[in-house]
A and B are shown apart, each in its own frame.
Chain A
Amino acid sequence: AIQLTQSPSSLSASVGDRITITCRASQGIRSALAWYQQKPGKPPKLLMYDTSSLVSGVPSRFSGSGSGTEFTLTISSLQPEDFASYHCQQFKEYLLGFGPGTKVEIK
């Protein structure tokens, strides 16, 4: 099974900061990576799919890049509503899996 790792596991940042979260896959998954945002007590919300395709309604300060085994989620200017946990998700051969998550906290 494909394993996903995320780094960092948590980070502290200020409003307006640019942050990057990395997701690494144990095998190549082409571009089949999605990102979710999750706030406490809520289900995850899909932000991005196919590495860099933004879901409708998601602000353009979110962007994604990568291919193969290394992927990144970047928030260009952190807003108060962005403090949450972020999870990557891979898809290969009709099986899925999630990364361990990254918690973004207010500095």
Chain B
Amino acid sequence: QITLKESGPTLVVPTQTLTLTCTFSGFALNTNGLGVGWIRQPPGKALEWLALLYWDDDRRYSPSLKERLTITKDSSKNQVVLTMTNMDPVDTATYFCAHSRRLCNTGCYSFDYWGQGILVTVSS
């Protein structure tokens, strides 16, 4: 059974760095064709993909946020960590981590298991 859970601060002051942790179970991140990603959703708005850590340690980021994001892993704890620098009120959103799997014959990845999300508010 695959599960994921996000943890971290729910309130961040502008200009601070946000650190979110995704603790997962039920799979090994170094399994061929898997990944763990981060997605956010501002209240009432669209989903936005942020980052994906692939099974082979390849890391990819949203081009529009690349300079602010870092995704890392702690394999001993089954955790994936996302840091986002220079937080702003527009970054207020629910942040989700999700299990990703290579599903297509052409090699594409989608998110098939999701955490419940953590609402992060950026405010002074």
Contact = CB atoms under 8 A, between A and B. Distances in A.
Interface in A15-72: 30-32, 34, 36, 38, 42-46, 49-50, 53, 55
Contacts of A1: 62-64
Contacts of B103: 34, 49-50, 53
A87 B110 contact: no
Interface string B74-91: 000000000000000000
A16 to B, nearest CB: 28
A28 to B, nearest CB: 12
Nearest to B102: A91
Contacts of A91: 104, 108-110
A89 B110 contact: yes
Nearest to A56: B112
Interface of A: 1, 30-32, 34, 36, 38, 42-46, 49-50, 53, 55, 87, 89, 91, 94-101
Closest 6 A/B residue pairs (Cβ): A43-B114, A32-B108, A91-B108, A50-B104, A34-B110, A98-B47
